[in-house]
Amino acid sequence: HHHLGTYVETPDDVERLLELTDVDLCLDTGHLLLAGGDPVAALRAWAARVGHVHVKDGDTKILAAALEAGDDLRELVGRGGFARLGAGELDLPGVVAALDDIGYEGWIVVEQDVLPGRRPLDRVVADQVANRERLRELGL
């Protein structure tokens, strides 16, 4: 799937992949957001090709600081660039509505990348509890 730091990163890269292949897309909301994309618009535009979804939030302020410092993707993750759902800029209600509107019935993987030792385990667990609660609030 598209991913920061790879050959298929930006919305234009994904468009090119879809033009050149007939594979389904694993749409990752966090990577798309941090690559300058709009996950809600992407779900609607690429609906026929979406075969799997990773729901992940992203913090563009942390991304900007990491880029300014010359940090790599690993350090972006370590800084918390992929945030607890609702703590970044992802329009999660919009994503859920778009998934419903396009009739998506596949798996949804909830991701929040963390590096071992960079966050206390109790915070990681609390973030996952909060992620599940947020999704329940939105009907998932």
Q: Distance between CA 2 and CA 56 in Å, rounded?
A: 13
Query: Whole-angstrom Cα distance, residue 124 to residue 27?
Result: 24
Pick from 124, 42, 44, 37: nearest CA to 77: 124
Tell me the CATH class for 11-137: alpha beta
Closest by Cα among 35, 49, 38, 30 to 106: 49
The answer to whether residues 93 and 138 touch, using CB atoms and an 8 Å cutoff, is yes
Which regions in the chain score pLDDT beneath 70?
none
Q: Where are the domains of the chain?
A: 11-137
pLDDT in tens, 14-41: 999 999 999 999 999 999 999 999 999 9
What is this structure's pTM?
0.91
Picking from 105, 111, 92, the residue whose alpha carbon sits closest to that of residue 47 is 105
